[in-house]
Structure 1
């Protein structure tokens, strides 16, 4: 009886340890499943079983000879912990690892912006999408788009000047976190929403606020979905990049993914996905796609 109890305790301990540690390439091949944790967002993950990142990650799983499994994240505030198995506290741009948490995925891929605090706790792969934070308003808003100066820093100053006295939507713990762009110093009334980034543009259309900051992918989707109802005021950030994220304990899986992405960017597969899900992206960011077939 004692042996059975000890065996049960050992099994529980091993299972608990496994739940808190992400696997590398050999572990995933042995398991036979690649777990793609992500958040339905823009055209990366539609929530209906498709999306740019869904298709790309399915192809990656196939290249590894394993089954693809999508795991919907609990949200932007927990997606990193679902990958690395540790809760994360972010303050003043610094990430602090806290207690253990269940690991739910092997890769985050949902239009995940490369941010300094995220780089402290995960490893980013080869960038798969360009990004920038824009200020968006309703088309009938008295706030006018800036006149670009060909200097991003100057354009940001001009754009932020338009926020004074206005209500501006943002979302903490995402790439729209107001602290990343010092929005408090603009004289705007910053309103932090919760929920999904897809809801920011509709909130402005519903007059919940005068303006919203929005990243490029969501802005492109919104401008296409609500043609003539929204306008871009100007940039709030320098140019950024989006990429899949991996645990720092999975260097072989990261290397395999980078090799896979490089292949797709040279055989036409990647650009075909861009044209399918973000047909205007190459027009706004031609330098990012330069040299790809």
Structure 2
């Protein structure tokens, strides 16, 4: 009788253990903690094959960086980079799905597989090339040093020493400010940097020249001026997760086709009245 009771308890414990183990197991439709992913393998993939199977390409962009990526008066996401990315998707044969993110979240987003590509004026730099793939450059821009209109102290990049510069933390523009001794005040993007500059909370910002000229067109009374232009032009490309050669080739093919048939020039002239690929 005693033996039978012990056996019964043992069987009950074993059954419960197997049940709990089954609840926490991982399969093709769950994550390691049992969180359902719906079996969507595209969530972490960035190969051309998987993108075509999904029928969409996920594009990381800010949505707050006019005239490259911003919302118009109706709330629609638009801009030079947005139109370019949409055309790339069309030529690959898939739908463009834009996922908006702050600049400093772009790199973490592509690392985590949230985006297949990032189209957001990402400068092609040696340190980034070690971790990410890039398309051929699709536009060229120069950094400008911006200060308040009544600022007489800062006239060159060298004058940034010990001055407060509003910058996003991972931008190549920030590196220019750092190299010239500026104290970096973190911002979420161009618009916030301009707001802080106008409010007198920072001394300067190193930012994209094309963005500034677009800003002045829309806000001609803004009390901000350019005091210097950096001699080195920044070449910007589509950023892609490392190892996706077929996807890189497909993006480059789309860009070349757009240049050849005049589509690129049409988009460029719409936002800048000139060809910004050179």
Are 1:168 and 2:165 counterparts?
A: yes
**In structure 2, what is the Cα distance between the partners aligned to 1:33 and 1:213?**
35
| Structure number with bigger Rg | 2
**In structure 1, what is the Cα distance between the partners aligned to 2:254 and 2:266?**
15
Are 1:72 and 2:82 counterparts?
A: no
1:18 Cα deviation after fit? 4.0
Tell which deviates more after alignment, 234-243 or 251-260: 234-243
- Counterparts in 2 of 1:260 and 1:19: CA distance versus 1, 3 Å: closer
Counterpart of 1:249 in structure 2 is 243
Counterpart of 1:90 in structure 2 is none
> What's the CA shift string for 1:172-221, capped at 9, x where partnerless?
1122324775122xxx5x24122222221232122222322112232222
Say how many residue pairs are matched: 249
**In structure 2, what is the Cα distance between the partners aligned to 1:163 and 1:144?**
7
Q: Would you say the 8 A contact 2:158–2:180 is kept in 1?
A: no
1:143 Cα deviation after fit? 4.5
Are 1:34 and 2:57 counterparts?
A: yes
Are 1:278 and 2:272 counterparts?
A: yes
Counterpart of 1:129 in structure 2 is 139
Are 1:194 and 2:192 counterparts?
A: no
Counterpart of 1:239 in structure 2 is 233
1:108 Cα deviation after fit? 0.2
- Structure 1 residues without counterparts, runs of 5 or longer: 86-102, 146-158
- Counterparts in 2 of 1:8 and 1:29: CA distance versus 1, 3 Å: farther
> What's the CA shift string for 1:122-151, capped at 9, x where partnerless?
111111121222111223322475xxxxxx
**In structure 2, what is the Cα distance between the partners aligned to 1:180 and 1:124?**
24
**In structure 2, what is the Cα distance between the partners aligned to 1:70 and 1:234?**
34
Among 107, 111, 124, the alignment partner of 2:121 is 111
- Structure 2 residues without counterparts, runs of 5 or longer: 1-14
Q: Would you say the 8 A contact 2:43–2:114 is kept in 1?
A: no
CA RMSD of aligned residues (A): 3.0
- Counterparts in 2 of 1:193 and 1:84: CA distance versus 1, 3 Å: closer
Q: TM-score, normalised by structure 1?
A: 0.74
SS in 1 for 2:261: coil
Are 1:56 and 2:53 counterparts?
A: no
- Counterparts in 2 of 1:7 and 1:181: CA distance versus 1, 3 Å: closer
**In structure 1, what is the Cα distance between the partners aligned to 2:186 and 2:125?**
20
